[in-house]
Amino acid sequence: MQPSIQTLRMGRPEWVMLMILSVLWGGSFFFAKVALAEVGPLLLVLLRVAIAAVALGVIARMLGHRIPASAQLWKRFFILGAINNLIPFSLLFWGQTHIGGGLASILTAVVPVFTVLVAHAATSDERITPAKSVGVGFGVLGVTVMIGLDLRSGHDWLWLAAMAACLVASLSYAFATVYGRSFKPFGLPPLIIAFGQVSATSVMMLPIALVVEQPWQLAVPSLPTISAVLGLGLLSTALAYVLFFRILDRGGATNLSLVTFLIPISAIALSTLLLGEQLHTSHVLGMLLIFVGLAVLDGRLQRLLTRPTRAKACAQSC
């Protein structure tokens, strides 16, 4: 069902939900950093998606949605779960064992940049335009500045490998964004797609986490770790999905894309205030360049620059 024209407006409730969503997704980097002190990255992925699957399943049933039984759909859920959850979550959590959550959040902000490139290569109706090329260029420049200056600063290979892992996670998210379009013909409620992918990811992650990290050998986690895991699954995944699709329905995809700018800010604020992390000057510079690229990609910068010209033309014609 397509939203009506009236719903594609950002009123106060939608702006509040957008801010909350940015804090929830920015908070995922904080929750992960806390939990990784006692829980391995693969086990943390399993706990995150399993908790979210249970919560989303309950919400779906409460709303009267039917869980699909089609083998074709579940095959797609497994593919989406792999490229939108299993791969990026695993890489991001491993990366955060070596770099801070704030830096990881900046590196994942390039998802729209990768999405433009993947969509250009994989689809026929989303080609790269000159404006998009400029946006991609700024995004690539931002990443290059961060990695290049970190290389000059003498960081060890694990630090650089962690940054690379976060970038590969962003690329995986980009593939997931493009692949997600294949669900459109099925007419599924977005909540069911979210439930399907985290459920499929839970099934895939269970043997991987058990074999690789053998969680039965771990000590009983502390209360902060348990709280962080629950926050990651219930708040930063289940609740975040609910808000995501609610904003998408009411405010549209363009307004929802603003969350891309806000997530690193939330993540950096939480990591700095609560964990004492500090960003290097190169990371701040890289983040600003990436933000310029994102603004170009979604058209906000162009609209901002052309607004005075349009206003002057209107005044002259009037």
Q: What is the pLDDT of residue 145?
A: 87
User: What does the pLDDT look like over 221-271, one tens digit per residue?
Assistant: 999 999 999 999 999 999 998 898 888 777 766 677 778 888 999 999 999
- 300: three-class secondary structure by DSSP: helix
Query: Would you state the structure tokens that stand for residue 253, as one six-digit string?
Result: 């995809």
For CA atoms 232, 236, 239, 241, give the dihedral sign: negative
Q: Is the pLDDT of residue 52 over 90?
A: yes
Q: Which tens digits make up the pLDDT trace of 196-230?
A: 999 999 999 999 999 999 998 888 999 999 999 99
CA atoms within 13 A on the CB side of 32: 33
Q: How many other CB atoms are there within 10 angstroms of residue 121's CB atom?
A: 11
Give the mean pLDDT of the chain. 87
State the pLDDT confidence band at 185, using cuts at 50, 70 and 90: confident
User: pLDDT band for position 7 (50/70/90)?
Assistant: very low
| Statement: residue 306 has pLDDT above 80 | no
Residues 6 or more apart whose CB falls under 8 angstroms from that of 4 comprise none
Structure tokens at 180: 């997600």
Q: What confidence score (pLDDT) does residue 154 get?
A: 66
Among the residue ranges 42-56, 143-157, 225-239, 257-271, the one predicted with the least confidence is 143-157
AA letter at 304: L
Q: Return d(Cα 91, Cα 162) in angstroms, integer.
A: 8
Threshold 0.85, pTM exceeds: yes
Q: How confident is the model at residue 15 (pLDDT cuts 50, 70, 90)?
A: confident
pLDDT at 5: 36
Distance of alpha carbon 123 from alpha carbon 178, whole angstroms: 8
With a pLDDT cut of 90, the percent of the chain lying above it is 52
Work out the angle at residue 83's Cα, subtended by the Cα atoms of residues 47 and 61, and round it to the nearest 5 degrees: 55
pLDDT at 30: 95
The angle subtended at Cα 159 by Cα 157 and Cα 163, nearest 5°, is 110
- Give phi and psi for 123, each to the nearest 5: -125, 165
For position 1, what pLDDT does the model report? 34
Kind and range of the H or E element at 35? helix 12-35
Answer for the pair 91, 165: CB distance below 8 angstroms, yes or no: yes
**Residue 314 scores a pLDDT above 60:** no
Query: Over the Cα atoms of the chain, what is R_g?
Result: 20
State the pLDDT at residue 301: 60
**Residue 6, pLDDT score:** 40
Tell whether the model's pLDDT for residue 120 goes beyond 90. Answer: no
Q: Residue 206 is inside which H or E element, if any? A: helix 190-213
Q: How far is the C-alpha of 22 from the C-alpha of 17, rounded, in Å?
A: 9
Least confident of 29-33, 60-64, 260-264: 260-264
Query: Quick one: which of 278, 282, 257, 255 has its CA closest to 268?
Result: 278
